[in-house]
């Protein structure tokens, strides 16, 4: 499942990215956690929370793509959900590294900074890159799981 979420500042880019992904993937594999309209009074935590919970239902398979103005607010909320490993994705190379080494399952994008073309390149890299799963990567992820088990309910 590929889950999209955005606030009002990320709404237009989310819609463009969702259409872009739907051209390449089965529509049953895509879910929209909102915003469903461009409402300047909405708040990013509401949508990041819903999107992250969907990712957390199957964190090894599901992927989250979240968009707000800076990408920063969404990443803070997403990482509050057990099982979500989110990063602000600012370039193709950054997201490839984050997928290969940290097995991130959610990216957040900055609608105020990224062009739609750059965002599409990042999304393609995110969805295509596999986790390397080397011993050091697995060891580090186990430490993260331990931290989660100690700090999340």
Active site members: 68
Q: Give the span between the Cα atoms of 50 and 4, in whole angstroms.
A: 10
Q: Taking the CB of residue 19, how many other CB atoms lie within 10 A of it?
A: 10
pLDDT surpassing 90 at residue 153: no
pLDDT tens by residue, 43-83: 999 999 999 999 999 999 999 999 999 999 999 999 999 99
Q: Which two tokens stand for residue 68?
A: 């707000």
Give the DSSP per-residue string, the chain.
Answer: -EEEEE-TTTHHHHHHHHHHHHTTS-GGGEEE-S--S--TT--HHHHHHHHHHHHHHSTTT-EEEEEESSSHHHHHHHTTSTT--EEE--SHHHHHHHHHHH---EEEEETTT--HHHHHHHHHHHHHPPP---HHHHHHHHHHHHHHHHH--
User: What domains lie within the chain, and their CATH numbers?
Assistant: 2-151 (3.40.1400.10)
Q: Which residues are CB-contacts of 146 (< 8 A; sequence separation ≥ 6)?
A: none
Q: What is the mean pLDDT of the chain?
A: 96
Crossing angle for the helix pair 92-102 and 116-128, nearest 10 degrees? 20
pLDDT tens by residue, 77-117: 999 999 999 999 999 999 999 999 999 999 999 999 999 99
Q: What is the pLDDT of residue 28?
A: 85
Q: What is the pLDDT of residue 137?
A: 95
Q: Give the span between the Cα atoms of 104 and 141, in whole angstroms.
A: 10
The answer to whether 109 and 64 have CB atoms below 8 angstroms apart is no
Q: Which residue has the tokens 């979240």?
A: 66
């Amino acid at each position: 499942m590929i889950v999209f979420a955005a606030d009002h500042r990320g709404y237009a880019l989310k819609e463009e990215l969702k259409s872009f992904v739907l051209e390449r993937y089965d529509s049953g594999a895509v879910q929209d956690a909102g915003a469903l309209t461009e409402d300047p009074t909405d708040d990013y935590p509401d949508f990041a929370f819903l999107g992250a919970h969907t990712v957390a239902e199957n964190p090894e398979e599901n992927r989250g793509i979240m968009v707000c103005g800076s990408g920063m607010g969404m990443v803070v909320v997403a990482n509050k959900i057990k099982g979500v490993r989110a990063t602000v994705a600012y370039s193709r190379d950054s997201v490839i590294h984050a997928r290969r080494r940290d097995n991130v399952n959610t990216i957040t994008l900055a609608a105020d900074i990224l062009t739609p073309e750059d965002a599409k390149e990042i999304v393609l890299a995110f969805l295509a890159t596999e986790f390397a799963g080397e011993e050091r990567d697995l060891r580090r992820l186990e430490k993260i799981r331990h931290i989660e088990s100690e700090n999340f309910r």
